Amino acid sequence: MAVAGQLKRVFFEKEALDYPMGRRIYQRIQDDGYEIQFLRSHNRVTGIPGNTPREAFFQGKSTLVVGVRKTLDFAPCKPSAHYQLPLVTGCEGICEYCYLNTQLGKKPYTRIYVNVEEILNQAAVLISQRQPEITVFEAAATSDPVSVEPYSGSLTRAIAFFAEQEYGRLRFVTKFAYVDSFLKLNHRGHTRIRYSINSDRVIRSYEHRTPSLQQRLQALSRVIAAGYPSGVIIAPVILTPGWQQDYSDLLHQLADHLDYSPKMDFAFEVISHRFTTRARSNILDVFPHTDLPMDETTDRKYKYGQFGYGKYVYTGELLEEMKAFFREEINRLFPQAAINYLI
């Protein structure tokens, strides 16, 4: 298990042992040979070393926290879903460009919430308030929950829950391949599983501690064979010299693995690389020698986003070239597949 191989420390909140999932994870962690430390107070994680931003970041990425979700207020998740489903926060992957680098603090540990039944019960309340409209929940807004699924089992339980919800739907995106527990579930098509993919060059250069493109595509093929609505997120699209060939190769590899049929419920989301001033500063603190393109004077323009802060995006000309390329290639290789975002 990749997550086990990367862990250096595990913290538990004592209340986590009041829940069946907490006790199960505790036993699994012990069986895997890890020493468990107990936190003195909820939501205050001390004991992660690191004197520099780089040390703190990598030590945080090797830390797992198992606790209880105290607040059951679900954050909105526009435009792709109505609510976030807070099963996990954080991710064991180390992607240099990740926006969570500015969201999860200097020591970005992964946290599993063990009171999954309470979380799902709250989801049921929100579903009932909006019916007969469909309510959609995103389980990967601030995490890659599949990265710790072998420990948590949270998504397996959530998929079974949403299969029973006439007016509820679940979606999540992942780079990880721990999908075997999903494949025999009677999901009733109520969960959409998307894979985050990129060119081989981008994955090798910037997506550290994540599965290869081939591993992701193999897992996606198994998900599709199990009948799940599915799709891919190609992000961030990085427009460096040769990008057209890189992404043409990516789409052809995707087509080769999928045995695509227009009857599939399959969707694309394509998102160009962008960054904020704060994100660039944080990235350079952790990856001082990165060659991630973040020069605001080259092929970039400043744009205010929907949340009131600005970011550097590609110029209009470059974006139009990118959009035209992906529209043409996707329509040719995947006729009738939906393109939900192309930005």
pLDDT bucket at 306, cuts 50 / 70 / 90: low
Please give the Cα distance from 176 to 195 (Å, whole number): 8
Q: Is the predicted pLDDT of residue 177 greater than 70, yes or no?
A: yes
Nearest to 187 by CA among 226, 133, 145: 226
Q: Is the predicted pLDDT of residue 3 greater than 60, yes or no?
A: no
The most confident of the ranges 163-167, 301-305, 311-315 is 163-167
CATH number at residue 258: 3.80.30.30
Q: What percent helix, strand, coil does the chain show, rounded to 5?
A: 40, 25, 40
Contact status, residue 273 vs residue 206, Cβ threshold 8 Å: no
Please give the Cα distance from 250 to 240 (Å, whole number): 15
pLDDT bucket at 305, cuts 50 / 70 / 90: low
pLDDT bucket at 259, cuts 50 / 70 / 90: confident
pLDDT digits (tens, 9 = 90+) for 68-83: 999 999 999 988 899 9
Residue 1 counted as domain residue? no
Nearest to 146 by CA among 232, 87, 215: 87
Residue 4 counted as domain residue? no
Residue 300 counted as domain residue? yes
- The structural domain count of the chain equals 1
Residue 98 counted as domain residue? yes
Q: Is the predicted pLDDT of residue 248 greater than 50, yes or no?
A: yes
Residue 2 counted as domain residue? no
| Enclosing domain of residue 216 | 9-342
Mean pLDDT of the residues in the chain: 93
Residue 3 counted as domain residue? no
Residue 227 counted as domain residue? yes
- The whole-number average pLDDT for the span 262-268 is 93
